[in-house]
Amino acid sequence: MDRRFREKREGTNKRREKPILMIVAEGNNVTETTYFKSFQQQHANYNIKVIVAKNITDPKGMLKEMQRQWKVKGLSESKGDMAYIVLDLDCDNSKAELIKSLSGTAKNIKFVPSNPCFEIWFLLHFKYSTHAYFNSNEVIKDLKSYIPDYEKTKDINCTLCPLLATALENANRLNDHYKSLGLEWPSIDCNPMTEVPEIIHKIQELEK
């Protein structure tokens, strides 16, 4: 066997030993892409791959796209690979019910919804509140009281990173709050709420 080919193959296998966390974000939204890519470190014990689902925004279409990407990228649950579908509920009950019906249909793929939108996770870095929002515009307006120059294309992880523990604690408090009310997530009655900590906990687990 040619030495250069052998070294290249061995190097590829060595790199592939790291679990892959594949994240599919809905539509052309770059907020999630920018945020999760900021967690990729040069010598991390994992690889983060963020895929934008172009014009796909419905849960069923995103699941189908994720299953396609899982095969194309050659991912394997036995190697520790995981896939997450990150999407907004937008206070849409039919969307929440569809996610419930689809969850668990693919063992290696998890839905990670936020209600009304992903920016709820950002807000939890600054405060705990059970105040309900009617739409994503209200959430972003509230977020701008903490990050005045916030834009969906802006990388704000330098601001958020020191407050990550606070965000996780506040998210856990929200989860306990809704459980105490007998509410089952995902549901538009859980407002505000986000399951983004599911991914963060996984990253922290792999960092150890």
Query: Residues of 158-191 as b/e, b for ≥16 C-beta within 10 angstroms?
Result: eebeeeeeebbebbeebbeebeeeeeebbbbbbb
Is this structure's pTM higher than 0.75?
A: yes
Residue 8 pLDDT:
43
Residue 26 pLDDT:
82
**pLDDT tens-place string over residues 28-46:** 677 888 899 989 887 788 9
Alpha-carbon span 109 to 53, nearest angstrom: 15
DSSP at 175: H
Residue 16 pLDDT:
56
The pLDDT of 177-194, averaged and rounded, is 97
Residue keyed to tokens 């892959």: 20
**pLDDT tens-place string over residues 93-120:** 999 999 999 998 888 899 999 999 999 9
The chain-wide mean pLDDT, for the chain, equals 89
The pLDDT of 132-155, averaged and rounded, is 94
- Residue 86: enclosing H or E segment and its boundaries? strand 82-88
Alpha-carbon span 13 to 16, nearest angstrom: 5
